[in-house]
């Protein structure tokens, strides 16, 4: 059951990184620093958003894999 909780956290973090990166920037940095990150040159902004999306997708995939493994482990461990 512990792995299911962790996989849900990883899936949620990946989802937030893919779709709500502006809110994550404001949470992790000062609002002024987050604004400067998001208002940099268009090429830099595209690079930052692309890398955040791929990182979030990777976290989401790892969370799904962990969820599948934990559910299979629970199924085998229940004796059925």
pLDDT at 68: 92
- The rounded distance, in Å, linking the Cα atoms of 62 and 55 is 11
What is the reported pTM?
Answer: 0.75
CB 7 within 8 A of CB 66: yes
Of the listed ranges 27-41, 44-58, 61-75, the least confidently predicted one is 27-41
Best CA proximity match to 8, nearest among 57, 67, 53, 61: 67
* Domains identified in the chain, total number: 1
pLDDT at 79: 53
Higher pLDDT, 76 or 20: 20
CB 7 within 8 A of CB 70: yes
The parent domain of residue 17 ranges over 2-77
């Amino acid at each position: 059951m512990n792995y299911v909780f962790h996989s849900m956290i990883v899936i949620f973090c990946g989802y937030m990184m893919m779709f709500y990166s502006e809110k994550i920037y404001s949470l992790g940095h000062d609002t002024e620093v987050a604004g400067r990150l998001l208002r940099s040159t268009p090429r830099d902004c595209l690079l930052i958003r692309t890398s955040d999306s791929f990182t979030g997708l990777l976290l989401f995939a790892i969370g799904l894999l962990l969820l599948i493994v934990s559910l299979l482990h629970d199924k085998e461990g229940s004796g059925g």
